[in-house]
Amino acid sequence: MAVVALQQPVASPDAAEDPKLSPAAARRLIRSGRHTGHTAGMALGCLQGNIVILPKDQALFFANYCHRNPKPCPLVGMSDPGDPSLPTLGADIDIRTDVPRYNVYRDGELGEQVTDLQSLWTDDMVTFVLGCSFSFEEALMQEGIPLRHIEEDLTVSMYRTSIETTPSGPFRGGMVVSMRPMTPADAIRAVEITSRQPAAHGAPVHLGDPSPIGIADLGRPDWGDVQEIRPGEIPVFWACGVTPQNAVREARPPLCITHTPGSMLITDHLSRNFRTSW
């Protein structure tokens, strides 16, 4: 297991700058350690997934949490206990190695970030894969909607909000959102485009002034990088698969492993064709 400092992922130029990579090729780069940064723009058009790994005694509560909160937690895949493969999402996936960087939570507190799970994996672990907003970005760009975090090689800005999720057992807390600056005209088109992809969070949950959803300062994201809001633009907010990491802080399981925000699992499925498991 490679342990890394607690910091935002840094893109690996030889891996991240080729959006035409196949999902299998992208995973091989990640598995080999050649790419440990964010996955925005990689294997464009393919469904990317947020990761939550829990002991099986917490799995039913968390599965129900996803069922009750499909907007931030669209469940697209789930493993059998102890099985690191996810055959419904890709023929060669090994969840222990195929995410660029993982967060390791102990009793609800982030303790370390690692680049593989070989020494942490046990036979009672259950993996949940949740749809990610990265997956609809190709559709936005094909319609001529620019995405600043991709243009500037940033990790998308993410914020905790005052929008409460529906609890399940110990899992509860506020929704996390991702933000993309857009002109009002592009924002309207983005609502239309993303509403067709419920497995990737669907349409935005809020547009414009962030204060009604509890965000005081767009210049201080809870995860990711700051993005400039230019004259004539508004912030557009989508439900985000980092929401479970907020819920983990409330549930305080002895051990929980997630992706590091911005560093996702890349699946073999086209996001425009995918439907959630519920």
219-252 confidence digits (pLDDT tens): 999 999 999 999 999 999 999 988 998 899 899 9
In a domain, 14, yes or no: no
Instruction: Looking at the structure, tell me whether residues 140 and 123 fall in a common domain.
Output: no
- What CATH number corresponds to the domain at position 99? 3.40.1640.10
Instruction: Looking at the structure, tell me whether residues 108 and 204 fall in a common domain.
Output: no
Mean per-residue pLDDT over the chain, rounded: 89
Return the percentage of the chain with pLDDT > 70, whole number. 91
Instruction: Looking at the structure, tell me whether residues 156 and 114 fall in a common domain.
Output: no
**Predicted local confidence at residue 270, as pLDDT:** 83
Report the domain count for the chain: 2
In a domain, 7, yes or no: no
In a domain, 5, yes or no: no
Instruction: Looking at the structure, tell me whether residues 61 and 196 fall in a common domain.
Output: no
Three-class SS state of 11 = coil
In a domain, 278, yes or no: no
Confidence check: pLDDT of 94 > 50: yes
Q: Where are the beta strands (DSSP E) in the chain?
A: 3-4, 46-55, 75-78, 102-106, 109-114, 125-131, 157-164, 174-182, 206-207, 234-239, 256-259, 265-270
**Predicted local confidence at residue 11, as pLDDT:** 38
Q: Minimal CA–CA distance to 75: which of 125, 127, 131?
A: 131
Place of tokens 């935002």: 8
Instruction: Looking at the structure, tell me whether residues 25 and 115 fall in a common domain.
Output: yes
In a domain, 4, yes or no: no
**Predicted local confidence at residue 53, as pLDDT:** 97
Instruction: Looking at the structure, tell me whether residues 92 and 170 fall in a common domain.
Output: no
Residues of the domain holding 215: 136-239
SS3 content of the chain, % helix, strand, coil (to 5): 25, 25, 50
DSSP string, 155-196: PPEEEEEEEEPPPBTTB--EEEEEEEEE-HHHHHHHHHHHTT
Instruction: Looking at the structure, tell me whether residues 84 and 222 fall in a common domain.
Output: no
Instruction: Looking at the structure, tell me whether residues 79 and 162 fall in a common domain.
Output: no
**Predicted local confidence at residue 229, as pLDDT:** 96
**Predicted local confidence at residue 137, as pLDDT:** 85
Confidence check: pLDDT of 179 > 90: yes
The two structure tokens encoding residue 129: 């894969």
Question: Which residue did the predictor score with more confidence, 15 or 100?
Answer: 100
**Rounded distance between C-alpha atoms, residue 130 and residue 123, angstroms:** 21
Instruction: Looking at the structure, tell me whether residues 122 and 151 fall in a common domain.
Output: no
